[in-house]
Amino acid sequence: MIDLLQLSIPFKSEHVIETLSADEQGGRYIDLEEIARRTGLRLTARDVEFEISGDLQVTGLSHPYESLPSHFASLAMKVHQGSNLAPPRVELKASPAKLLQGHNVFGPTDVSLCAEALFTPFCMAMPLLADYLDFEETSVAKIDSTFSARLKTINQTRQVMDVLRNVSNGQTKATKSTRSQNYDSTVYWNETSNSVRRKAYLKGQEIQADLERCKMALRRSPNDESLKRRINILSNPDLIEWAALLIRFEVSLFPRKLHDLNIPTKLFDLISYQIEYEKEGRNLIYDMWSAGFNELFESFKGTIMNIYDDEKILELLKLAYHSTTPKGNITYSKAQRIFGFYRRLVNEGYDEVFKTIPRKSFYRNINELISAGISKAQLQNLQADKKNNVIPLVQLIQVDFSKQYPDWYVEPVSPFNNVIQLKAS
């Protein structure tokens, strides 16, 4: 699916001012203040000064990122004034799937449909500004394509993520940044590249976090109908169940990488290219995703991991050991601690663990496991037997293009009345 689309729309030439510097390296600009006055665009100022006469002098005007409303989600929009390095343009950025259907667990791969999902709310929210733009020259500044691997249990998804943090190949390096460390459900590779960026994350956790953010936002804005619609979509138990066991692999392709792949960066050329490309049964977005991940997936072939499946044990512990925070949230920190001890018994064996930790701590954990409903005999018979659980990573991570959607999925169609007609030339 196309998970994110970032479009760059230039201004019509009659609104562009060209300047020439002493070194003949001039730039192209727009009169941002005048356009804002005519279109209602909101600006910010770098400096605001009061003169002796009391007049207000404002300098350093710019347009910050602005959030435009849509049926399900918002659209990010920014006006760039121009410079000697880049022409003036309007940048649109959003998840087309969220705009069209309220979630991005799965979604369309049609570039035309996704572009229309961005163009239409922009034109509806900023019709006067839209008149200044040359839509036919729109280019793709970034496109994220995303596909998922389905695992058997929640525990397996977490184990695979732990292994992925140490996987790299050639120039594809796992990022050791603060951002990566703050999100244990996400792994980044080449996070700052201007060509191709990759990441893997647990979709089930992301959709739950997204739902919580929407609920918090609704408490601040109780009359926001768009938020109510999104919450209704994200609360769908079928959607939550489908996302729970997914590891999502996302690649961000920038113009430099698209050029390397001989893929057009002009939007309407890309739409035409996709139509021709897929006449033979191929899928352009899937192949773009493959081109971004092939190098990394090659490195998976040499990686093995120990897989354990103790969902029932963890559920027993969660039932026995949980508490409620002052904010009303349920926490399972004690259950997770005891489960960690149980995993050590599985990996090392009862006798070895008994030899290596203080007796008091050992028996306390054993008694907590027994209190949760696990017999002492069962614990004493745990033996370290890693060979039976060694599985190649590629055997677990199988991104099957034919199984990216549930059988109840219906690809969205544009809900708009052709505010902008996207046609391949």
For residue 158, the model assigns a pLDDT of 82
> Residue 227's closest CA among 67, 15, 422?
67
For the chain, what is the mean pLDDT?
85
Asked if the model's pLDDT at residue 307 lies above 90, the reply is no
For residue 423, the model assigns a pLDDT of 45
Q: What is the mean pLDDT of residues 345-350?
A: 81
Asked if the model's pLDDT at residue 183 lies above 90, the reply is no
Buried b (16+ CB within 10 A) or exposed e, 119-146: bbbbbebbeebbebbebebbbbbbbbbb
The predicted model scores a pTM of 0.77
* Structure token pair of residue 5: 């689309």
**Which of 11-15, 213-217, 369-373 is the least confident region?**
369-373
Which tops the pLDDT comparison, 169 or 238?
238
**Which of 41-45, 170-174, 316-320, 400-404 is the least confident region?**
170-174
Which tops the pLDDT comparison, 261 or 174?
261
Distance CA 132, CA 143 (A): 25
**Burial of residue 295, with CB atoms counted within 10 A of its CB: 0-12 exposed, 13-18 middle, 19 or more buried:** middle
**Which of 153-167, 262-276, 289-303, 371-385 is the least confident region?**
371-385
Which tops the pLDDT comparison, 87 or 380?
87
Quick one: what percent of the chain has pLDDT higher than 90?
51
Asked if the model's pLDDT at residue 337 lies above 60, the reply is yes
Q: What is the mean pLDDT of residues 190-199?
A: 91
Question: How far lies 51's CA from each of 54, 58, 61, in Å?
Answer: 5, 11, 18
Highest mean pLDDT of the ranges 66-80, 249-263, 336-350: 249-263
Question: How far lies 77's CA from each of 65, 126, 252, 259, in Å?
Answer: 6, 10, 19, 25
**Which of 47-61, 182-196, 270-284, 332-346 is the least confident region?**
47-61
Residues in the chain: 425
Give 3-state DSSP helix, strand, coil % of the chain, rounded to 5.
Answer: 45, 20, 35
